């Protein structure tokens, strides 16, 4: 391969003041990240643009704060403290609009660092398990550096990039980070059963957000028929349903018979499942999360989590009070798409209390908390205590329904507030 260099040589193109994009989720190119960080003494004010990434983020260390500053489009665990301490920034944005941000040059990119599969006999590499907004970044960046890794799965869809697009390449043979599903709690299983038994219909098209509850729902769907998948991401639970014949995609209107996703996070079993599998298409997130595309599928059932929901139905998902925690992501894309789908069901699912016993059905959102899904968009809220259907309900009806699914220890306090402030009798 031409333009094959060492990681240290590849990142020499980065200059002070540059804006550098890093490949998303489990595809973050570790060798290039470390090589770039090693140049900290030579660089000033390099802006790192990224969605959530797995693995280390050494460029967020306080020791290199004058050299690198993250501008996060979604806050992952490896940059959260830097955001909280003011050494990194956060851009609230719908996931579907991140590619537009790049393609319109409102956020021009000097360098994109990506990890790809080896080229095929025609010279095409694959962005693998993370196409999302990375496809757009590769298209528009002034300089693209590729980490070629034979352990990166080759996915079908929009992730194919010809080797001529890469200005320089490095070789690696590192394991892709694996995300193992957490053991499901009794609360998560209870929520999953309520959703699977009452809200997920046969022939539905599913979207699952990140988290234990969507994974738990998948585990409860073994008795369903002809489900489809059109989602920003999916994890390992989908494989079991494909093997059981539950997921067929037979009744989807957009890409029938095909699992559509923007990125993947899971174990090697998932990566092997999607490798060169024409059943799965990893597509540009501007398309995957387009409300007009989502709504064309029937019975879109979107399952997303939240930090808290107030008694009027406002949903906070990206912040804990004034502390930014994650991001807007694709929640609103799919909440709106599902609500416009024929027979669709947009669902917010969350435990009734935090690990410290604080009610997540709240009188009002914590001071500084951001609204991701508005009270006008919310349809169903589910806790382990039941399902509150809020669509078309007035404020007093909403408050009553939400109190009924709150933890019993908090219902009296919520009742009192609803009576005094919202005039719920």
Dump pLDDT digits (tens) for 161-206.
Answer: 999 999 999 999 999 999 988 889 999 999 999 999 999 999 999 9
The predicted model gives 298-322 an average pLDDT of 97
Residue 423 predicted with pLDDT over 90: no
The predicted model gives 62-66 an average pLDDT of 97
At residue 105 the predicted structure's pLDDT band, cuts being 50, 70 and 90, is very high
- Work out the percent of the chain whose per-residue pLDDT is above 70: 100
Question: Quick one: pLDDT at residue 235?
Answer: 87
Average pLDDT, the chain: 96
Question: Quick one: pLDDT at residue 101?
Answer: 97
Token pair of 39 as six digits: 């140049």
Question: Quick one: pLDDT at residue 425?
Answer: 78
What Cα–Cα distance (Å) separates residue 404 from each residue in 55, 398, 399, 408?
Answer: 41, 10, 9, 8
pTM: 0.96
Q: What is the pLDDT of residues 238-270, one digit of tens each?
A: 999 999 999 999 999 999 999 999 999 999 999
Under 8 Å between Cβ of 344 and 295? yes
At residue 424 the predicted structure's pLDDT band, cuts being 50, 70 and 90, is confident
Cα(389)–Cα(194) distance, integer angstroms: 13
Residue 1 predicted with pLDDT over 80: no
Question: Quick one: pLDDT at residue 139?
Answer: 98
- Work out the percent of the chain whose per-residue pLDDT is above 90: 95
Question: Quick one: pLDDT at residue 217?
Answer: 96
- Of 283, 288, 360, nearest to 330 by C-alpha is 288
The predicted model gives 1-13 an average pLDDT of 92
Question: Quick one: pLDDT at residue 311?
Answer: 98
- Of 117, 170, 156, 115, nearest to 138 by C-alpha is 115
Token look-up 């550098």 returns 20
Which of 3-7, 21-25, 158-162, 358-362 shows the lowest per-residue confidence on average (mean pLDDT)?
Answer: 3-7
Q: What is the pLDDT of residues 342-385, one digit of tens each?
A: 999 999 999 999 999 999 999 999 999 999 999 999 999 999 99
Q: Is 9 helix (H, G, I), strand (E, B) or coil?
A: helix
Q: Which one from 54, 232, 236, 308 is the annotated catalytic residue?
A: 232
Residue 211 predicted with pLDDT over 80: no
Residue 232: active-site member: yes
The predicted model gives 119-136 an average pLDDT of 98
Cα(51)–Cα(91) distance, integer angstroms: 10
């Amino acid at each position: 391969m031409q333009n094959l260099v060492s990681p240290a040589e590849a990142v020499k193109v980065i200059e002070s003041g540059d804006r550098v994009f890093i490949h998303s989720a489990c595809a973050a190119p570790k060798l290039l990240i470390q090589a770039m960080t090693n140049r900290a003494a030579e660089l000033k004010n390099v802006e790192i643009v990224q969605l959530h990434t797995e693995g280390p983020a050494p460029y967020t260390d306080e020791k290199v704060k004058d050299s690198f500053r993250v501008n996060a489009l979604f806050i992952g665990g490896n940059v959260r403290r830097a955001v909280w301490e003011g050494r990194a920034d956060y851009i609230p944005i719908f996931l579907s609009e991140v590619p537009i941000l790049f393609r319109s040059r409102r956020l021009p990119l000097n360098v994109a660092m990506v990890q790809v599969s080896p080229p095929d006999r025609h010279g095409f590499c694959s962005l693998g398990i993370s196409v999302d907004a990375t496809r757009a970044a590769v298209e528009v960046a002034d300089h693209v550096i590729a980490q070629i890794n034979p352990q990166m799965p080759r996915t079908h869809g929009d992730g194919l990039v010809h080797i001529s697009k890469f200005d320089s390449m490095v070789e690696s043979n590192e394991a892709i980070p694996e995300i193992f599903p957490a053991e499901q709690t009794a609360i998560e299983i209870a929520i999953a059963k309520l959703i699977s038994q009452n809200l997920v219909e046969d022939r539905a098209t599913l979207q699952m957000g990140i988290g234990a509850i969507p994974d738990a729902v998948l585990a409860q769907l073994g008795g369903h028929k002809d489900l489809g998948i059109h989602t920003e991401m999916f994890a390992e639970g989908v494989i079991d349903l494909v093997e059981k014949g539950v997921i067929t995609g037979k009744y989807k209107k957009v890409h029938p018979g095909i699992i559509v996703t923007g990125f993947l996070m899971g174990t090697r079993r998932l990566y092997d499942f999607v490798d060169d599998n024409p059943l799965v298409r990893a597509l540009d997130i501007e398309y995957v999360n387009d409300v007009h595309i989502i709504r064309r599928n029937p019975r879109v059932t979107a399952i997303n989590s939240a930090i808290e929901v107030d008694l009027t139905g406002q949903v906070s998902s990206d912040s804990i009070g004034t502390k930014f925690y994650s991001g807007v992501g694709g929640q609103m894309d799919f909440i709106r798409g599902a609500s416009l789908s024929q027979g669709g069901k947009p669902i917010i699912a969350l435990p009734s209390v935090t690990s410290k016993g604080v009610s997540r059905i709240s009188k009002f959102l914590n001071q500084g908390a951001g609204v991701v899904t508005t009270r006008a968009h919310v349809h169903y809220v589910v806790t382990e205590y039941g399902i509150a259907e809020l669509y078309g309900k007035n404020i007093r009806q909403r408050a009553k329904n939400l109190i009924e699914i709150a933890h019993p220890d908090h219902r009296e306090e919520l009742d009192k507030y609803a009576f005094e402030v919202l005039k719920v009798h």
